[in-house]
Structure formats: C-alpha cells, structure tokens
Structure 1
C-alpha cells in the first residue's frame, strides 16, 4: 500500500467532509491519498478541500452510477467512500459493477442498507436482539395518529413524530402542549423541532397522509455511536452529543458506556453491517439508552473516533483494499472531546484563497 491511493469521497457538501478528509490524510500508516470529491451541487466546500472535484447527478438519476464509474475509471480510483444516505442506497445495489472495474465501495450490501435505513424495521430488529427501544406506533392516517397520541399520554407527555424513511432531522417534530415562558422566549434560540398538535395536523391535511412513526419522547442525553465491523469483530465508540444544532454535533465527548456498546454490537451483527457506520441512542427517564435510528454510512462527526485513537474511516478503506484489520488490542481514549466551530473557505473565481 505504499503508492498514492486514489479515492472518491462523495457528498462534498456534507457537514462531515472535512473530518473524513482529515482522517484519510492523517492515517496511522502515513499512507498518501489523492482525494476526489463529488457532489450534486457545483460549488460545495469539499471541492476546495479535495485534490479534484466532479459534479455528479442525483443518486436517483439513471446516469448517477455511470457517472461515478466513469470518474473511477478515468482517475484510477481504488475506493469509493459515500457520505450521504441517498447515495448508499444506489451504490449498494451496484456493488458487482464496481467490483468488475476493481473498485471497492465502503458500504454494506443492499439488504442490510434497506433494513438499517428503515426506522420501523430498526425497532423490530431491536425487539429481536433485546435492545431497548421507545414505545412506538406506525401510522398512515389521522385516526391512528390521534389514537397513538392518546396511548402515549399526550397532552400530558411530549410525543415524537418522524417519517419512517428520512435522514437527519428531516420531518422530525416534537409535539408538545407546553407554552414557552417569557424567559425561554427571550433567552433560548428556537430549534424548529417543537410543534403544537393543531399546526402539525394542518401539515398532514395538506396532502396524502405520510407513513410516520409516533414514539415516546426521550428526555435524557443523546448519543451517537461510531461503529467499525469486519470479520474479526466490532468496535463501537459512543459519544455524548452535548450540543446539537440543526442535527449536527457541535460539542461531542467520547463516553464508553458499556450498555450502549453492547447494544450497538448486537445491532451491527443482526443487521450484518460492515465497514464504518453508526447508531443513535437517547436516554429515557430512567436513564436507559433506547434506539433512535441507524446511520449505515460515515457519520458527520466520526472524526471524533479518529482523535480517540481508532481511525475507522481509514481502517474501512484499508479493509476494502484487502488488508484485514486486527481489533483485539485497541485502546480508545475515553472523554476525548470534539468542539465544532464556524470555520470557512475563501475562494475567488472558483479557486481556493484560504481557510479560517
């Protein structure tokens, strides 16, 4: 592996692009990488962090796979590293085509991706593997929606509603009957997640009723878990999401919670996920971690695990290149913390000028 390794990193506009590139460039074997980034937009920030950039069609476009294959062939790419939920669905269905041109894709097979991206099936997987999950109802009409709210104790209890299929915070709302105090109104920044029942009913009545999960509200700390899995075993690194803005961790700290690690390993094996991916848990009122969702791809702040001593993004590339990673004797630095800030890239006439 001494030669320069050319890789494609998709989702150049994704929040985690800088962390992914950092993890590749700062790998423990000091191997050189040439990084090509791609995105559906023509001028994302990752264009200026990579060595080369290509604009590509959307993953749903029939030309998407051919576009990625063309880049891979022309640039002599060895590994493709997808960063977005939409792309992993498409890429996982065409793995054989990439193997034919000697290109590896860091993604699980389609059957695993399909289950992991389905918030309803994830809960069913938790049932089968004895992993705690929130009380829930799958609904697709207003009558069942009202019934689920009543069973979950609304209006005395907050209730969470989210689409069966979505990524990030898209479509997620916390239905609450609480009224803001004057102090909360004046001092706290709005999150955009809270909504009253009347307002969300207006949305649902404005088109075909979507398939939604209605779940209990979990009031405790939220955790992301960075996971690496290969034939030698599974490494799970939980981190407390101490400050979340627009679904992105701005302050996260490694906390090696044994229960969360145990549950993440169970789910990883049950779903047959591989390479690097993640889960999210949230504590209930009794401080029991319950599943929120699965992210069967690189997570936005997975670079935290790189700093904690296990560069799973790089190890996934190494694994994809045929080098089995031994995980029996690793040390994770507990309490490692990542604090995100508002940096920026300066450009002029589509050329890099500087970075803050």
Structure 2
C-alpha cells in the first residue's frame, strides 16, 4: 500500500498530540503526518513530518487554505481536533470529499447537539438517560427543586473555563458572567469516567473503553486507568448509537452509588486518548483502516484492564526560530 497522508488540525492541542503519537505507534501502514495550526510555536509541528500555519477557523479563508494544503500534499485523510473547528468541517464535508479527502468527523447534527450542553440534556430526557438536572441560566429564575450545590458553566464550551460551583442559589445574583449563554446544572459528586467510543463510518458502535479520571487538571486527565466495567461499556455503546456517533467521540460520566450520570457527549478525540491507545485500542488508526475498507480484527478491539497512565511535562528544544516558518 502507498503511503497514506494525514492532515491533523490544531496540532498544538493535547488531543492532536495524542492522535499524532497514536498514528506513529502503528506499523501496519506507512503514514505521513501533516500538522496545521494557527500558532507558529505549536509543539505538534515537531512531531509531524511537515507543518503549515493556517488562519483561525473563524476566518473566511480557513477551509480554502486547508484544501490548498491538502491538494499540495496529496492528503487522503483530514482529522479535525477541537470543538470550534468541527462544525466547519462537518458543513463542508461534501466539498472536502469532492477533492478526494476523507474527513474523520461526525455529522453536523451530532456535533451541534454534543457541543450544546442543554441540547445534550434534552436528548437524555427524551431517551431516559440519567443526567444531572439542567436549566438555561437566568438571573431571575429560582430553579425550584434543584439540589444544591449547583454548577454554572457555558452552554457551549470546553475545558473548565468559566465554570463555577455554588453552594447557595443567592450567589447567582453576584456572578459576573461574560456575554454568552450559560446553563445551571445539578452537581453530581462521585468517580469520574471518560469512555472512548470506536464507531464505524455507518454508525455501528464497535467498542467503548472506560477510563477512570483519577486526577483532572483544567479539564484534562493527568492520572487515570482503564476499567472493564461491562455495564458501563454496554451503556455507553447504547448511548453512542442513539446519539448517532459515526466518528471520534468520548462520553463523560460520573458514578454516584450504583448509577452513572451522563455529563457530556464530546464528538471528538479526548485529551486522555493515549491511555486507550496504549491499553490496546488505537482508535485513530482503526478509523483510518475502516475508511480504507480494511478489516478490524477482534484482537484490535481488546484492551488491558486496570491499566494506568501518569502524565508529566515533556519539552521540545530548538535554537532556530525560523524553523517554524513554512
């Protein structure tokens, strides 16, 4: 098989680094990695085979610049990484496919529902999935019946930015929030899990890999372990199927007592992806294999139980600043 060329966006982000490392780890197919980012000091540039600076996804020429690079490099696969980019690639999927690109992205409807925390809550209610009570934020609302404490967080957004935990509803009157929509959510205390989902392009869910988030900083797992919890695996697979997942995805839960509360459905790769990959299931590579029509063996769907990951900082050094210019 000829070398497969893959373009990965937002190359400096933690999920992108995880995807690059995952594709490097496999030896079955020769893959050339092209990294793009709007930051000229992106760490992912130094892990890729080549790199390009691109405009922000909010700029009108973002997609056209991506297509120009893909044509020049003869790219076969495009892997979008962060929330802000996903809708653009989903909307332009037919255009991208017309120039020979396979895009590892979910359908636009799935992305919009997953990125919207209130829409995700309404989906849970419709399908009888246990989730924290969630309301659209309004300073004048009393949120009668909601249990304390509560969480206030952006309706759309990622990570832990602008997230507040309040012990008293009266504190809502004193919040200084940016000019954007927020939700008020019942606080659920318990063990945190992220479940990575492996889905076929037709939406068939092949596997779900639970990871306990033992230590989390700024929304990212720093210490974690895999857990072969059969009940959670089957539960996550059913949810992913109902949600319409047919691309990268991770689902976040909190275990309280003997129940799992769905917190978020993220239609993208997670920052904790390396734990799943090194436990045995290389999701980015398997997605590429499936799009190429190659068979995924049962062995490739097995993962190690109680397999730990501890993270630490790792540096990249260079002395020639011009190296990052392309």
TM-score by length of 2: 0.92
Aligned residue-pair number:
321
Deviation at 1:296, TM superposition (A): 0.5
Distance 2:10 2:104 in 1: 14
SS of residue paired to 1:319: helix
Deviation at 1:69, TM superposition (A): 0.4
The reply to whether residue 313 of structure 1 matches residue 284 of structure 2 is yes
SS of residue paired to 2:318: strand
SS of residue paired to 1:50: coil
SS of residue paired to 1:22: helix
Deviation at 1:111, TM superposition (A): 1.4
Corresponding residue number in structure 2 for 1:184:
none
Q: Deviations over 1:240-288 (max 9, x none)?
A: 000111111111100122332223212211121113211111123x342
TM-score by length of 1: 0.84
Distance 2:300 2:24 in 1: 23
The reply to whether residue 26 of structure 1 matches residue 25 of structure 2 is yes
Distance 2:295 2:57 in 1: 30
The reply to whether residue 124 of structure 1 matches residue 122 of structure 2 is yes
8 Å CA contact 1:40–1:56 kept in 2: the answer is yes
Deviation at 1:201, TM superposition (A): 2.4
Deviation at 1:176, TM superposition (A): 3.2
SS of residue paired to 1:123: helix
Find the partner of 1:163 among 154, 157, 165: 154
The reply to whether residue 254 of structure 1 matches residue 233 of structure 2 is no
Distance 2:218 2:183 in 1: 20
Change (3 A) 1:325 1:276: farther
Corresponding residue number in structure 2 for 1:75:
73
Distance 1:80 1:118 in 2: 24
Corresponding residue number in structure 1 for 2:166:
175
Distance 1:122 1:199 in 2: 23
The reply to whether residue 331 of structure 1 matches residue 325 of structure 2 is no
Distance 2:101 2:49 in 1: 19
Distance 2:3 2:173 in 1: 52
Find the partner of 2:259 among 288, 304, 317: 288
Corresponding residue number in structure 2 for 1:10:
9
Distance 1:324 1:168 in 2: 35
Distance 1:42 1:200 in 2: 42
The reply to whether residue 152 of structure 1 matches residue 146 of structure 2 is yes
Distance 2:307 2:173 in 1: 39
Deviation at 1:102, TM superposition (A): 0.8
Where in structure 2 are the equivalents of 1:71-110 lying within 5 Å?
Answer: 71-110=69-108
8 Å CA contact 2:224–2:309 kept in 1: the answer is yes
Distance 2:66 2:118 in 1: 31
Deviation at 1:318, TM superposition (A): 1.7
SS of residue paired to 1:345: coil
Corresponding residue number in structure 1 for 2:268:
297
Corresponding residue number in structure 1 for 2:251:
279
SS of residue paired to 2:199: strand
Corresponding residue number in structure 2 for 1:36:
34
8 Å CA contact 1:83–1:299 kept in 2: the answer is no
Change (3 A) 1:202 1:118: closer
Distance 1:258 1:123 in 2: 24
Deviation at 1:7, TM superposition (A): 0.5
Unpaired segments of 5 or more residues in structure 1? 178-195
Distance 1:77 1:100 in 2: 13
8 Å CA contact 1:125–1:270 kept in 2: the answer is no
Corresponding residue number in structure 1 for 2:214:
242
Distance 2:280 2:68 in 1: 35
Distance 1:266 1:127 in 2: 15
Find the partner of 1:203 among 176, 187, 192: 176
8 Å CA contact 1:235–1:327 kept in 2: the answer is no
Which has the larger displacement, 236-245 or 118-127? 118-127
Unpaired segments of 5 or more residues in structure 2? none
Deviation at 1:199, TM superposition (A): 8.2
